[in-house]
C-alpha cells in the first residue's frame, strides 16, 4: 500500500500513521513538492551523493544524523519539540488559559496568514539560491549550501503540516499555493520583499544567511511563544536548524574578510581586487544592502497587526516567557525611532503597536555581535577599518523611513545627495560584475577558491579535504 511507504519516507513524531486524513493530504502534496524541488531546487548535483544531516527524531541522537544522500531522496520529516505539560497562553488577552491544541475559531484567518507568511519564505530562499551550486568555492561550501536548502525544504514541510493538520480545505489550498508562487516573479511573487531579491553570488549567499536567516531566528522565536501549541512546538524545533544557517553566514563572511586581510597584508594595498580578493569596501556595501532589506522583514515600526497578533496570543516577543512584566502591555510604552520633520528622533509609543520595532531592536543587537567578530579579524591583521551596520532608516522600503532617503550614518538627506552618493553605499552593477567574475567553481577535494579562506574546521568532525559531495 502506497501509504505505508509514505509513513516510512516521512520521519515524524506527529503520529502520522494514525492520522489518515493528514496522511492523505500529505500523499497528495508530496509529489507536487518533489516536482517543485526538481524544477526550482538546486540546479545540478541532484543525482550526486551529498554528506547531509537529517533529522529522524527530536532527541539528541536523532536530530542530527549524518550520511550520504541524494537530495531528491532526502527524508523531509515533520517534527514538533516535545510538549510542555500544562503549557499556557503566556501573553495577551488569554494569558493564563491552557495553550490551544486546536485553532481558536475566531483567530483562524490571522493564524493562517502568519503560518503562510512564514511558510512562503522557505521555498523562496531555495529558489533564490538555486544556481549557486554551479559556482561553489569548495566542496565544503557546496555541501553547506545543500544542507541549508534541504532544511528550508523541511521548514516548508513543517508549515504545510500545520496547514494540512489544522486548517482543513483552506489549509490544503494554501499548501499548494506555497509551491506555486515564485521568488522574483512579476505575476506571482513571494510574499515578503527580501525573498524576491536575487542571490546571484556566494557573497550574497553568506550575507543572506547572516542577515535574512537571522530574521528567521527572531520571527520563529516569537512564533515559538505562540499560544497555539502546535505552532510553538514546530518553531522550537525549527530554531535548532536555523542556528546552522546563521553559522554558515557568519563564518562565510568571516572567511571572506580573513582572505581580504591576508591579501592586504601580503600586497600592502587596500585594493585587493587585482589580487583576486573582495575588498572590505565592497563587503561593507553588501552588508548595507542585506541588512536593510532584512530590517524591512520586521514590518512597520508602528503596527496594529503586531498589536493584534500579541493581544490574540498568537505571536509573542523574543524570549517572552523570560520577561518580567505583565505580558499584556496595555499600559506600557516603548521608544521608537521615527521621522520628526527633517530629522530622526526617538518617541515613546504604546508598547503594543511597537512590537515590530522591539523585535527589530533585538535583531540589530544580535547582528552587531557578528560584525564585532568580523572586526576582530580585521584588527588582528593590524588593519584600520571597521565594518558597521547601516542606520535602521537606510534604504528602507517598509515603514516610516520608506518615504525618505537616509544615509548609512542616519541623516535624512535630499534626493540629490542620495543620487550623488548611493553608489558608494550599495553594491553597483560593477561591484556585482566583479564579485560575479570571481565565482569560478572549485570542486577538487580540499581545494578552496582564492577569494575566501578555508574554514576553521570541517563538518561533523570531518577533515577539510573530506569528500563532502561525491562527484563520481
Least separation in angstroms between CB 293 and ligand BYC:
8
β-strand 343-350 against 405-406: which pairing, if any? unpaired
Residues in region 213-242 near ligand BYC by CB under 6 A:
213, 215-216, 219
Cβ nearer to ligand BYC, comparing 6 with 247: 247
Q: Contact between 299 and ligand BYC (CB under 6 A)? A: yes
Q: What CA–CA distance (Å, rounded) separates 71 from 147?
A: 9
Shorter beta-carbon distance to ligand BYC: residue 37 or 385: 37
Q: How far is the CB of 152 from ligand BYC (least distance, A)?
A: 5
Site for ligand BYC contains 458 (CB under 6 A): no
What is the three-state SS of 338-388? EEECCEEEEEEEECHHHHHHHHHHHHHHHHHHHHHHHHHHHHHCCCCCCCC
The residue from 297, 336, 377, 435 that contacts ligand BYC (CB under 6 A) is: 297
Phi, psi of 74 (to 5 degrees): -55, 140
Site track 110-149 with ligand BYC (rule: CB under 6 A), x = hit = ----x--xx--xx--x------------------------
The three grid cell numbers given for residue 11, joined into one nine-digit string:
520521519
| Residue 26 to residue 330: CA distance in whole angstroms | 41
Per-residue exposure over 161-171, b if at least 16 CB sit within 10 Å of its own CB, e if not? bbbbbbbeeeb
Q: Sign of torsion, CA 300 302 303 309?
A: positive
Closest C-alpha among 297, 109, 107, 32 to residue 190: 297
- Min CB(155)–ligand BYC separation in Å: 7
Choice between 48 and 190, CB closer to ligand BYC? 190
Binding flag, residue 306, ligand BYC (CB under 6 A)? yes
Question: Looking only at residues 369 through 398 of this chain, which bind ligand BYC when binding is defined by CB under 6 A?
Answer: 398
298 binds ligand BYC (CB under 6 A): yes
Under the binding rule (CB under 6 A), the answer on residue 44 touching ligand BYC is no
296 binds ligand BYC (CB under 6 A): yes
Report angle CA 416, 418, 420 to the nearest 5 degrees.
70
Count of residues in contact with ligand BYC, rule CB under 6 A: 25
Least gap, CB of 7 to ligand BYC (angstroms): 27
Is 189 a binding residue for ligand BYC by CB under 6 A? The answer is: no
For 117, the 3-state DSSP assignment is: helix
DSSP 204-221: HHHHIIIIIHHHHHHHHH
CB-based closest residue to ligand BYC: 299
Q: How far is the CB of 315 from ligand BYC (least distance, A)?
A: 6
Does residue 305 bind ligand BYC (CB under 6 A)? yes
Give the integer Cα–Cα distance in Å for 45 and 420: 44
Compute the distance between CA of residue 303 and CA of residue 295 in angstroms, rounded to an integer: 15
**In the complex, what is the shortest distance from the CB of residue 109 to ligand BYC, in angstroms, rounded to a whole number?**
11
Q: Which is nearer to ligand BYC, 152 or 164 (CB)?
A: 152
Rounded Cα distance between 224 and 206, Å, is 25
7 or 239, CB closer to ligand BYC? 239
Q: Which helix (H) or strand (E) holds 50?
A: strand 49-54
Binding map of ligand BYC across residues 349-368, x = CB under 6 A, - = no contact: -------x------------
**What is the separation of C-alpha 349 from the centre of its chain, rounded to a whole number of angstroms?**
29
Point out which residues bind ligand BYC (CB under 6 A).
114, 117-118, 121-122, 125, 152, 192-193, 212-213, 215-216, 219, 296-300, 303, 305-306, 315, 356, 398
Amino acid at each position: 500500500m502506497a501509504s505505508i511507504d509514505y509513513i516510512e519516507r516521512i520521519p515524524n513524531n506527529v503520529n502520522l500513521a494514525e492520522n489518515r486524513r493528514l496522511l492523505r493530504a500529505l500523499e497528495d502534496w508530496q509529489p507536487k513538492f518533489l516536482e517543485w524541488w526538481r524544477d526550482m531546487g538546486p540546479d545540478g548535483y541532484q543525482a550526486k551523493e551529498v554528506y547531509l544531516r537529517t533529522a529522524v527524531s527530536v532527541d539528541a541522537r536523532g536530530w542530527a544524523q549524518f550520511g550520504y544522500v541524494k537530495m531528491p531522496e532526502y527524508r523531509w520529516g515533520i517534527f514538533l519539540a516535545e510538549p510542555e505539560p500544562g503549557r499556557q497562553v503566556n501573553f495577551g488577552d488569554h494569558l493564563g488559559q491552557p495553550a490551544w491544541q486546536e485553532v481558536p475559531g475566531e483567530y483562524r484567518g490571522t493564524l493562517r496568514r502568519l503560518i503562510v507568511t512564514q511558510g512562503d519564505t522557505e521555498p523562496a530562499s531555495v529558489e533564490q539560491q538555486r544556481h549557486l551550486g554551479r559556482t561553489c568555492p569548495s566542496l565544503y561550501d557546496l555541501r553547506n549550501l545543500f544542507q541549508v536548502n534541504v532544511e528550508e525544504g523541511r521548514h516548508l514541510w513543517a508549515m504545510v503540516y500545520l496547514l494540512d493538520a489544522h486548517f482543513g480545505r483552506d489549509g490544503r489550498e494554501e499548501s499548494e499555493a506555497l509551491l506555486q508562487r515564485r521568488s522574483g516573479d512579476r505575476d506571482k511573487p513571494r510574499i515578503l520583499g527580501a525573498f524576491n531579491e536575487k542571490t546571484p553570488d556566494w557573497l550574497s549567499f553568506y550575507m543572506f544567511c547572516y542577515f535574512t536567516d537571522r530574521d528567521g531566528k527572531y520571527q520563529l522565536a516569537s512564533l515559538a511563544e505562540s499560544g497555539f501549541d502546535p505552532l510553538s512546538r514546530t518553531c522550537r524545533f525549527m530554531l535548532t536548524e536555523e542556528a546552522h544557517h546563521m553559522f554558515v553566514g557568519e563564518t562565510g563572511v568571516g572567511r571572506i574578510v580573513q582572505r581580504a586581510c591576508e591579501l592586504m597584508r601580503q600586497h600592502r594595498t587596500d585594493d585587493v581586487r587585482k589580487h583576486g580578493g573582495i575588498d572590505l569596501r565592497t563587503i561593507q556595501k553588501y552588508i548595507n544592502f542585506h541588512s536593510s532589506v532584512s530590517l524591512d522583514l520586521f514590518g512597520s515600526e508602528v503596527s496594529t497587526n503586531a498589536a493584534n497578533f500579541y493581544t490574540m496570543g498568537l505571536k509573542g516577543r523574543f524570549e517572552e516567557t523570560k520577561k518580567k512584566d505583565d505580558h499584556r502591555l496595555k499600559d506600557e510604552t516603548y521608544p521608537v525611532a521615527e521621522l520628526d520633520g527633517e530629522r530622526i528622533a526617538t518617541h515613546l509609543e504604546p508598547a503594543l503597536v511597537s512590537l515590530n520595532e522591539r523585535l527589530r531592536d533585538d535583531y540589530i543587537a544580535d547582528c552587531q555581535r557578528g560584525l564585532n567578530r568580523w572586526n576582530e579579524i580585521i584588527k588582528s591583521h593590524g588593519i584600520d577599518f571597521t565594518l558597521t551596520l547601516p542606520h535602521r532608516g537606510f534604504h528602507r522600503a517598509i515603514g516610516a523611513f520608506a518615504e525618505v532617503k537616509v544615509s548609512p550614518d542616519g541623516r535624512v538627506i535630499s534626493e540629490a545627495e542620495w543620487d550623488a552618493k548611493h553608489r558608494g553605499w550599495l553594491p553597483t552593477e560593477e561591484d556585482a560584475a566583479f564579485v560575479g567574475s570571481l565565482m569560478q567553481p572549485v570542486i577538487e577535494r580540499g581545494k578552496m577558491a582564492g577569494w575566501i579562506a578555508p574554514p576553521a574546521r570541517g563538518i561533523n568532525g570531518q577533515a577539510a579535504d573530506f569528500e563532502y559531495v561525491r562527484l563520481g
